[in-house]
Structure 1
Amino acid sequence: MKRKSVILLTLAIVLIGFLAWRFIRPMNIFVVDDRFAWPIDTSQTPPVLGKLGATECAACHQDFYEEWQTTIHAQAWTDPYFQTDWQFDDAQHSCRLCHTPLDRQLPRKVLGYRDKDKWDPVLADNPGFDPKLQHEGVTCAACHYREGKIVGVLGTRDAPHPVQQLQDPNQVCVRCHVVEGDRWDTFFRFPPCGTVAEIESSLAATPDKQDIAYLLKLMEENETDVGIDAGSAPETLRQTLAPAGNSGEIIAGDTRALGCVQCHMPMVMRPLVAGGVERMTRRHLWRGGHDPDMVRKALTIEFIEAEQIENNQRRFRLTLANTGAAHYVPTGTPDRHLTVHLRLLDGQGRVLDEQTHTIKRTVMWRPFIVDLWDTRLPRWQPRHYELIVADGSETVKVEAEVRYHLLAEARRQRIGYDNETPINYMVFNKQIPLRAGIPHDIQGAGDD
């Protein structure tokens, strides 16, 4: 009996020690494989490409450069939120390899790793470090430079620099946007930064045909432009990824089905270089969660008075659906979320009652990383929210509001992020008056 007690006590101590270690260990949330473990090698850069700076590219590609300057890619290193969050999480070196992917953007070069998981690099001072290039974040060469050549979809032969043709431009996107890992102790169901796994899941799903028909009709009524053919993606996507040399580039088996550039890099007719022949090229914008218009394009939203369920009640329904994004909405870091607010308002605009719903991914981080639940919007699956107004209520208007949050307020306070720009914005707002004689489904409509 005494021996059994000793064994149980020992096991309890071991378990408590293990759980304690899980609470204090460094938070490694994804698997660092070779595509993230090493920067893009620029040792073969020909003299014509200079220092690989964006201003050098602008000498010929001014329009592209000006678009890039407006993007989050250009701020990938200098963005105040990234810097605050990165420093809060112990400035993990692996983050540099997507936010500053070129070897000469790193103050210290990677010689190797002390651990199998590649979270503990062996570093040495980098004599080729270019601090100006570092501040360009995901600069032109981060996407377009590989092994001494500029990669692009045209493959033109009259350029002043070596060119290699891409079969599909999405091959560039998936170098960084496939952050993944399915080990039980390091990751959760969908990635924090990449979206390929979400698209794969979305395309593999089989949405209800009635839902799709309803949403297509709703989109037609609202003249919604989703920017991508809803029927172009296959039912399933088998994505095969493999490293290509030591450049950090990967080869994807079927990147065309992803729709990355088709949505985030719209086409425009213009010359590739100043004075050149006009042709269809893609705008270098990469708008996403920071752009309210882009989020609105991804969503179809309707707020109407529905049929009565009882004589003394009026029922209002908000329908919210992801009809324009192949990945979940919202996507990106788990901090991003949507809030839905349904309100009863009196004659002075005061709130008599309110419902609030949160659309987000909820993760337990310690002692193990587990996706507890995920209420985000997959494609083609409408979400309905209802508001009931009882007879005799003081309600004069009903209101629906949808907001997009780039960051949770609790997280903002925890990391000490002193934001100068808003961390949430309105996606949709509509009020429906209850007064007799006013068309309930059109008065007060419109996005704010």
Structure 2
Amino acid sequence: MGRWRRTASGERRTPRIAGAAVMALAALLFAPAAGVRGDPLPPLPGPAPQGRPQGFSARIENQRCETCHEDIAAEWRASLHRQAFTDRVFQRSYAIEPLPFCRGCHAPEADPAHHPDADAQAVGVGCVTCHLVAGEVVSARGRDARGGAHAVRGDARLSTDEGCARCHQFDFPRAPGVPMQDTVAEHRSGRFAERPCRDCHMPLVQGISGRPHRDHRFSVVGDPAVLRSAIDASASRSGANAVEVSARVVAAGHAVPTGDMFRRLEVRASAVDAKGAIVAAATPVILERRFSVRPIEGGIERVPAGDTRLPASGAPRVLRLVFPAAIDGLAVRWEVVYQRMGAAMGAAFGVDPAADEVVLAAGTLGARPVVGRPAPAPVP
């Protein structure tokens, strides 16, 4: 049955049954996947306005998602996406500059021309923001409606950095071409450009159904373990009154820190005596994006003035921390600390930056023998 057969004219043909099987297999192989259509894809998730129909309630529609997707909903409720508008630090900043530009990303389910209503504030960046676009439920993988469940439009772009770019890569509103957040561009030029954002920020986890799904907590600044895994650092003495700290990115696909322009790393060191008392402190070194400010009509404009962060390439930065006097005979404690902002910005926003600090790397250098000079007296 599975062999070639020859016609009266000598022509070779596939057996009818085998030929039918080949055609059926081809139909399966080349048929469009469930949820995939040939018409244009809807827009990717992004800032407001979302083009919602009149009477649309982000809270009610979001609750419909949460009812069935319980485990994912629980993760999202603990995420910074959910807190996009209600986050206390954002609220302090927003109180100073309550701009439509800010509302577009932080309250994408509201009209950015107006202060968001309570529902849009509570949802923040919700299920509906990424998965209900132009009236269709979308996900990286599509499926047809079955068993009472709705259909899902497949859009593979959601599994790439394109799905994140509209909210995590944008310019200053008054300076087109000058990135306010440059995370996606950093990723595309880094060592891990072939790995999508979700590999780190949405790892596969086990759901209550027993099936794996992408974690919707979007681990980032709220997860110290993720932050600590991003860099590697070591230290050594440099002369009689300094230490050098070498730091580099090892497990992040972008510069560290990235995102909000106020985020920074502070590298600091203290000389301590045998009892652990601090004797002297080195001048800290700050790794950050730097901007100059110039007045323009209707406000100010920030102009990039430097970038000392750890680059996405993984190239190390060697940072020299200098003490006011020789530190021979004293041990040195050093650390690399993540901060959402510095003290001056914290004072302007009315927040305590120290409350959100995360130590990413730390160590102690043993005391070096004193050679012909006394150690400094302890700090009073």
TM-score normalized with structure 2 length: 0.72
Corresponding residue for residue 131 of structure 1: 118
Corresponding residue for residue 219 of structure 2: 287
Change (3 A) 1:353 1:427: same
Secondary structure of 1:173's aligned partner: helix
Contact 1:288–1:295, Cα closer than 8 Å, also in 2:
yes
Corresponding residue for residue 62 of structure 1: 70
Matched, 1:199 2:132: no
Matched, 1:373 2:300: no
Separation in 1, partners of 2:288, 2:138: 37
Contact 2:201–2:218, Cα closer than 8 Å, also in 1:
yes
Separation in 2, partners of 1:420, 1:352: 23
Q: Deviations over 1:407-427 (max 9, x none)?
A: 222112223x24598132322
Separation in 2, partners of 1:327, 1:133: 30
Q: 1:350 aligns with which of 278, 281, 284?
A: 278
Contact 1:407–1:424, Cα closer than 8 Å, also in 2:
no
Contact 1:399–1:432, Cα closer than 8 Å, also in 2:
yes
Contact 1:301–1:319, Cα closer than 8 Å, also in 2:
yes
Corresponding residue for residue 52 of structure 1: 61
Larger CA Rg, structure 1 vs 2: 2
Corresponding residue for residue 401 of structure 1: 335
Matched AA of 2:272: L
Contact 1:330–1:360, Cα closer than 8 Å, also in 2:
yes
Matched AA of 1:139: G
Change (3 A) 1:142 1:346: same
Separation in 1, partners of 2:326, 2:334: 21
Secondary structure of 2:363's aligned partner: strand
Separation in 2, partners of 1:314, 1:99: 46
Secondary structure of 1:179's aligned partner: strand
Contact 2:84–2:125, Cα closer than 8 Å, also in 1:
yes
Corresponding residue for residue 6 of structure 1: none
Change (3 A) 1:435 1:50: closer
Matches within 5 A, 1:207-286: 233=193, 257=194, 259-270=196-207, 275=209, 278-286=210-218
Q: 1:383 aligns with which of 317, 326, 329?
A: 317
- Per-residue deviation at 1:399? 1.5
Separation in 1, partners of 2:211, 2:132: 22
Separation in 1, partners of 2:55, 2:154: 17
Matched, 1:98 2:105: yes
Change (3 A) 1:160 1:46: farther
- Per-residue deviation at 1:289? 2.6
- Per-residue deviation at 1:42? 2.8
Where structure 1 has 5 or more consecutive residues not aligned to the other structure, the ranges are 1-33, 111-120, 204-229, 234-256, 437-448
Matched, 1:42 2:52: yes
Corresponding residue for residue 292 of structure 2: 364
Q: Deviations over 1:304-338 (max 9, x none)?
A: 568xx8xxx69854220012222211112221111
- Per-residue deviation at 1:269? 3.6
Q: 2:235 aligns with which of 303, 307, 325?
A: 303
Secondary structure of 1:134's aligned partner: helix
Change (3 A) 1:413 1:401: same
Separation in 2, partners of 1:92, 1:393: 50
Q: Deviations over 1:269-294 (max 9, x none)?
A: 43xxx64xx44321112122333222
Matched, 1:329 2:316: no
Matched, 1:433 2:360: no
TM-score normalized with structure 1 length: 0.62
Matched AA of 1:373: G
Contact 1:268–1:283, Cα closer than 8 Å, also in 2:
yes
Q: 2:169 aligns with which of 164, 178, 193?
A: 178
Aligned residues between the structures: 315
Change (3 A) 1:337 1:304: same
